[in-house]
Every structure is written in structure tokens, then in C-alpha cells.
């Protein structure tokens, strides 16, 4: 039995930042956070620099390690994606299927179930981003595959929600009814509004029906205006609704992020997503999505016409942007990558926090004075 007391680093547990403290680990189980001068007998002390935090939780992961989930809808594909993200500190994720055919959607559901049954580390469920989106705000989604939700689609999602620990679905009010949203939410589906050109009133109706989240705030949605607040305005003005954010310094300006964080108060909050494609953990410079070429240039992923197509981003880089460009405190930035996204899940299973008597899913990050964060390793 190994007993280790990690000291010397600030410890963020998902809610609070502990200083002059020790994190106690016993054979991979957290035994609590104690004062550094009160370490129990029998623990080996290991002094670390940087900061200790929960492993990151990412609710929007399209690929990694050179693999796109749309192409490799298999347990093996999911293992490769999860391993690529674990190498950057993300220990829990929702693999995300971008708008595709009904056959590919069924394959994604089956692969996710099989991966969970096989014990693939970090697979917490599934995120289906589409195909029930708005053509007007399709982004990089294939317009030929976008369509309204019919009875068979709804039946498939309801069945998947009962089979998977967590199912998140991004949809647009233009392509679904509030009655469909209500039935999905009642069945435990995490309904997120995105890729939508809807009005503020339509967004509010979706929230009232049970939608609890917004997908990559500001991107691929109706914007905040003086007379029509759009989906952005509805999200910021609805306290209980949470919103994902791509903080890569490309998708959303730092000043816009500051304004959103100032406006978004209440139980719902803004959390980080990477919207990562296959490039994370790989050296590839291009790949294909639904047969279309995606280019990787200067930290940006685009279709050949320049349309943004996901993000070339990992969580340490997103936290660095929040600290350097937005000016966020360390604990607030770390919460947006851990406890806040985990709190949206139906079954978080202890991910996103460091809790006594739970499996220790903690990481060490280096933290430079200029705000740069780097993943160093997972803790035992």
C-alpha cells in the first residue's frame, strides 16, 4: 500500500485553492487535504512545484491523436482520442460526433457504450453535435446532413439516454419542437442549444422546455443586438443556463469573454470546452471531415474557404488564455476546466474535483509568472 503526501504546491480541489497544504493519496484514493504541518504518520512526503488540480473535464471533444470520432466510431478510436487528451491533463471527456448520417450516429452510440463497458479511461458518455441544427448557422457542419428531428431520431436519443451515463445533444430550435426538447430533457438528455439563428424568445422557450446549456457561446449562433438579444443574449440573461466557451484567442475575443463572465451570474456558468479535432496530441497538418479538407495553420483549423472548423486547442492552452488575456484568477480558470463542466453531467462520477475517499484523478501543472500553464503529469 502506497501512501503519499503531496506538498509544496497550491492545491485546487474544484472549488477552493488550498495553500500550505498537503494532498494525501493512498493507493490511488484521495484521503483528504490537510495542513502541511499535520501530515499523518506513514505518508511519504513528495514536494512538488506548480499547482495541483483535478484532471480536466471536456464536454466537446471531436478527436485527438490523429483520430476523428466521425471517422473512427469504434472503441479503439475512442481509446486513441482519450489517450491523446489525457496527455494534456483531460481525464474525463464526452467524445463528440459532428453532424453525420443516422447510421454513423447509431455507430457512435454503440461505440461509446462498448468503450465504457471495456473500461476505456475517461469516456464519460457521448455528445451528439447535430444533425438537428440551423442551416443559417451551420459553421463547418455539412449542410447536406443537417435536418429536422423526426420521431425516429427522438426515439433513438431517448433510448441512448437510458443506455449511456451521460448524453449531451446540441440542437437548434429551428429544427426541433419545444415538446421534443421537453421529452429529451425529462429522459435525462443534456440538451444544449447551438448552431442556431433563433430569436431570444425562441431560445428562452427552449430553456423553459428543459434545455440547460449553450454550445460554444458566441460561435455559430445569433448574436446580442440592441433590439434582438439573440441566443447570446438569452444565454447571458438566463441564470440557470450554462455555456461552453472556446478560449483559444481565435474563436472569441478576450474583451468579449470578460463581458460574458461579468454578465453570467447565477447557478449556471461559463465553462471551457476545447472543441478539439484530431490535431490534439499529433503533428498532422490537415485532415478530412465528411469528405471536406480541414487545414491546420498557426493554431487555427479551417475549411478551405476559411470557415473555422473546430479548434486546435487543449485545456492548458485555454487556461493560459484566460489568465494572460482575460485576466482571470487561477482558481476561477481551473474551475472552468474541471468542476463547472463536471457539474453539468448527469453522472459526473467524481470527475472534476478532488474529494476525500474518491479515486484521485489529479494532475500537476506548471504555472509560469506570465500565466502560461503546462500539463506535467498525473498524480498517483
**Residues acting as catalytic residues:** 275
What's the CA gap between 378 and 365, in Å, rounded? 9
Angle (CA) 186-188-192 rounded to 5° is 95
Amino acid at each position: 500500500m502506497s501512501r503519499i503526501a503531496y506538498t509544496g504546491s497550491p492545491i485546487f480541489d474544484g472549488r477552493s485553492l488550498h495553500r500550505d497544504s498537503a494532498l494525501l493519496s493512498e493507493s490511488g484514493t484521495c484521503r483528504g487535504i490537510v495542513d502541511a504541518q499535520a501530515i499523518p504518520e506513514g505518508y511519504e512526503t513528495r514536494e512538488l512545484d506548480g499547482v495541483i488540480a483535478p484532471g480536466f473535464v471536456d464536454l466537446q471533444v471531436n478527436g485527438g491523436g490523429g483520430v476523428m470520432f466521425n471517422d473512427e466510431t469504434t472503441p479503439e478510436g475512442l481509446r486513441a482520442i482519450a489517450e491523446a487528451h489525457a496527455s494534456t491533463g483531460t481525464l474525463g471527456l464526452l467524445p463528440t460526433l459532428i453532424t453525420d448520417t443516422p447510421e454513423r450516429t447509431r455507430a457512435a452510440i454503440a461505440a461509446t457504450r462498448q468503450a465504457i463497458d471495456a473500461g476505456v479511461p475517461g469516456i464519460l458518455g457521448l455528445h451528439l453535435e447535430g444533425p438537428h441544427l440551423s442551416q443559417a448557422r451551420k459553421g463547418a457542419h455539412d449542410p447536406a446532413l443537417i435536418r429536422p428531428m423526426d420521431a425516429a431520431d427522438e426515439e433513438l436519443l431517448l433510448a441512448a439516454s437510458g443506455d449511456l451515463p451521460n448524453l449531451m445533444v446540441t440542437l437548434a430550435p429551428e429544427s426541433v419542437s419545444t415538446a421534443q426538447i421537453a421529452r429529451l430533457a425529462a429522459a435525462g438528455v443534456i440538451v444544449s442549444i447551438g448552431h442556431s439563428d433563433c430569436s431570444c424568445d425562441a431560445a428562452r422557450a427552449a430553456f423553459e422546455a428543459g434545455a440547460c446549456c449553450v454550445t460554444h457561446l458566441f460561435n455559430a449562433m445569433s448574436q446580442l443586438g440592441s433590439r434582438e438579444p439573440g441566443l447570446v443574449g438569452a444565454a447571458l440573461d438566463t441564470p440557470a443556463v450554462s455555456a461552453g466557451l472556446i478560449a483559444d484567442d481565435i474563436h472569441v475575443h478576450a474583451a468579449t469573454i470578460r463581458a460574458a463572465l461579468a454578465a453570467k451570474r447565477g447557478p449556471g456558468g461559463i465553462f471551457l470546452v476545447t472543441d478539439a479535432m484530431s490535431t490534439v496530441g499529433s503533428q498532422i497538418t490537415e485532415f478530412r471531415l465528411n469528405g471536406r479538407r480541414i487545414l491546420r495553420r498557426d493554431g487555427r483549423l479551417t475549411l478551405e474557404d476559411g470557415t473555422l472548423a473546430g479548434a486546435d486547442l487543449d485545456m492548458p492552452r485555454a487556461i493560459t488564455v484566460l489568465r494572460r488575456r482575460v485576466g482571470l484568477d487561477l482558481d476561477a480558470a481551473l474551475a472552468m476546466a474541471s468542476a463547472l463542466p463536471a457539474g453539468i453531467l448527469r453522472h459526473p462520477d467524481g470527475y472534476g474535483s478532488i474529494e476525500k475517499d474518491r479515486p484521485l484523478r489529479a494532475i500537476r501543472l506548471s504555472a509560469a509568472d506570465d500565466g502560461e500553464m503546462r500539463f506535467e503529469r498525473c498524480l498517483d
